[in-house]
Structure 1
Amino acid sequence: MLGFIFVVVFAGFLSYQYYHLEQYSLNLEKELLQIKGNLEAKSMELQNTILDRDTLAQKLEEEKSRMDELAVQVADITSAVGLIEKIQATDEELLQKYSRVYFLNENYVPESLTQIDQAYLYNPDKGQYLYTKVMQFLQILLQAAAADGVDLKIISAYRSFGEQASLKYSYKVTYGSGANKFSADQGYSEHQLGTTVDFTNSEIGSTMAGFDKTNTYEWLRQNAFKYGFALSYPKGNTYYYFEPWHWRFVGTRLAERLHSEGKYFYDLDQRDINTYIVSLFD
């Protein structure tokens, strides 16, 4: 009898424990489901956050690209404005063809003239002037020649309309119509621009005879372009006799092109020459 009672009581105890274990298991399952749901919600929230972040990053990158494009456009506009201002500030007459092609009136005078150092003049007692913006290029050329041991002097530079008229008249008195072969009429002389010089040396002096046979001329032929100067009237030109002493400043870029291509200033079309006005004093 006692054994039976013990079995009944033990069975009841086991049933009670099983019930509590089952309830505990159900509670754990409920908590696990809740945690899983929370994890899924958090995962979705995280994915949305990542998506938002990527979308924001893409928008930022697009905005950055747009700003970069605007910066390039602004730089291009600024550069274009700078070029226009540079062109407007440069006298367009300085690269025109004046040997019987274009005409400079009697009122044309360079905006600024600077006196050439007397040490470089063949005749120090007669002052010579040059367009101020060209002076620095001429000085460097003269210094380079001196460093190479070359005897280089200047016999003529800027001439006004009136001075050219007087010079041409004196030539006509002496040589008649033959003067047209070696001297420009007033208004057609490159010297009026203030960018042209006639070179000589101590031996040749003012006669100019044989200047093309001197090492002075050879040095100019090999080096003058580096400083922006070009020979205006080579052998065979259609304007005047060969003038190996007559060199005009046309800017280093144009002078370098003429030298490398074996051409001369008057070989080029005026429209082609005009493209170099913006770099004339670079």
Structure 2
Amino acid sequence: MTLNLDKFKKEGDVKIAVTAILLIAIIIGYGEYRRSELVTRIDGNDRKTASTTVEFESRIKSLEAGVAGVKNDNKNLSAVLDIKTSTYEAQIGNIAGTVGSLDKLSKTDPQLLRKYSKVYFLNEHYTPSALSPIDPPYLFNKEAKIQFHANAYPYLLKLFQAAQNDKVNIQIISAYRSFNTQSTLKKNYKFIYGAGTANQFSADQGYSEHQLGTALDFTTPEISSSFEGFENSTAYAWLINNAHKYGFIISYAKSNTYYEFEPWHWRFVGVDLAQRIQRDGTHFYNLDQREIDKYLLLIFN
């Protein structure tokens, strides 16, 4: 009886041990299952996170590219706008300049650069827009009342100042002459020299450059009013080399087809045209009138 009881106890212990082992195995298995399931979920989440990160990074790059594109477009647009703005400003400036030039041209006497002396005619009512009295120190006859075109007078003063600096003594015998004054003068010349001779060196009324107020007859104290020998004077040599710098030209140079050579007779045509004539070695009356007219806008620059 005692043996059976011991045997029973041993069998009970074995069952308990087996049961415990089974429970432990089940617990371990379930724990492993849960761990595996958790690992799987974590891996899945990691993959999702990685995929989301990649997608997010891709979107960021796409947005950055878009922003860069917009910036580049804005930069290009800004450049285009700058170009267009500059173009418009230049066009507006050109238009304003053209309007200003046209306004200036409309206020400039078109007769000032005409080829008078047998070509164009000034009527008896024509007078320059403004005349200034020439200061007595520049006149041969200090008592004479001689006038010159007001807008050209500053250039004449510069010419005299330059001549004085070079110790060259130049004086004025005649400048502006009205239609009637020229008529009287021409009649006197015809009476003294005869019509044929007078016509060679003196213009009829209406054809004289003197009526423009921009022509002058120069002399020196030694030569006086006869003009004889002026061609060989220091004054003439100085004028030939320097007068163009101040806008003056010799109207009737040697070999001209209008009048006899008049070394004393000079005309203001503006610095630009005078320098062009000097540079090209030509003469005012040899130029086409249309070419001369291009310089009208610049005559008092």
| TM-score, normalised via structure 1 length | 0.94
Instruction: Give matches, 1:55-134, under 5 Å.
Output: 55-134=73-152
- How far apart are the structure 1 equivalents of 2:256 and 2:239? 19
Q: C-alpha displacement at 1:239, in angstroms?
A: 2.1
Moved over 3 A (4+): 1-16
CA offsets, 1:220-260, max 9 Å, x none? 00000100000011122222221100000011111111111
2:43 corresponds to 1:33 = no
Counterpart for residue 152 of structure 1: 170
Counterpart for residue 172 of structure 1: 190
Q: C-alpha displacement at 1:55, in angstroms?
A: 2.7
SS in 2 for 1:180: helix
> Higher mean Cα deviation, 204-213 or 15-24?
15-24
> Higher mean Cα deviation, 219-228 or 62-71?
62-71
Q: C-alpha displacement at 1:202, in angstroms?
A: 0.8
- How far apart are the structure 1 equivalents of 2:64 and 2:73? 14
Q: C-alpha displacement at 1:274, in angstroms?
A: 1.0
Which of 186, 197, 210 does residue 191 from structure 1 map onto?
A: 210
The aligned amino acid for 1:258 is I
Counterpart for residue 227 of structure 1: 246
Counterpart for residue 201 of structure 1: 220
- How far apart are the structure 1 equivalents of 2:119 and 2:41? 114
- How far apart are the structure 1 equivalents of 2:64 and 2:260? 89
The aligned amino acid for 2:215 is T
Counterpart for residue 239 of structure 1: 258
Q: C-alpha displacement at 1:11, in angstroms?
A: 4.5
CA offsets, 1:112-164, max 9 Å, x none? 00001101111000111000000000000000000000011111111111111
The aligned amino acid for 2:222 is E
> Higher mean Cα deviation, 136-145 or 84-93?
84-93
Q: C-alpha displacement at 1:21, in angstroms?
A: 2.2
- How far apart are the structure 1 equivalents of 2:180 and 2:200? 20
- How far apart are the structure 2 equivalents of 1:52 and 1:261? 59
- How far apart are the structure 1 equivalents of 2:129 and 2:205? 19
Which of 204, 210, 218 does residue 229 from structure 2 map onto?
A: 210
Q: Which runs of 5+ in 1 are unaligned?
A: none
- How far apart are the structure 1 equivalents of 2:272 and 2:128? 22
Q: C-alpha displacement at 1:209, in angstroms?
A: 0.4
The aligned amino acid for 2:113 is L
Q: From the CA coordinates, give the structure whose radius of gyration is larger.
A: 2
Q: C-alpha displacement at 1:73, in angstroms?
A: 1.7
Which of 288, 292, 297 does residue 269 from structure 1 map onto?
A: 288
The aligned amino acid for 2:278 is H
- How far apart are the structure 1 equivalents of 2:279 and 2:67? 65
| TM-score, normalised via structure 2 length | 0.88
The aligned amino acid for 1:85 is D
Q: Which runs of 5+ in 2 are unaligned?
A: 1-16
- How far apart are the structure 1 equivalents of 2:48 and 2:288? 94
- How far apart are the structure 2 equivalents of 1:122 and 1:59? 71
- How far apart are the structure 2 equivalents of 1:92 and 1:8? 122
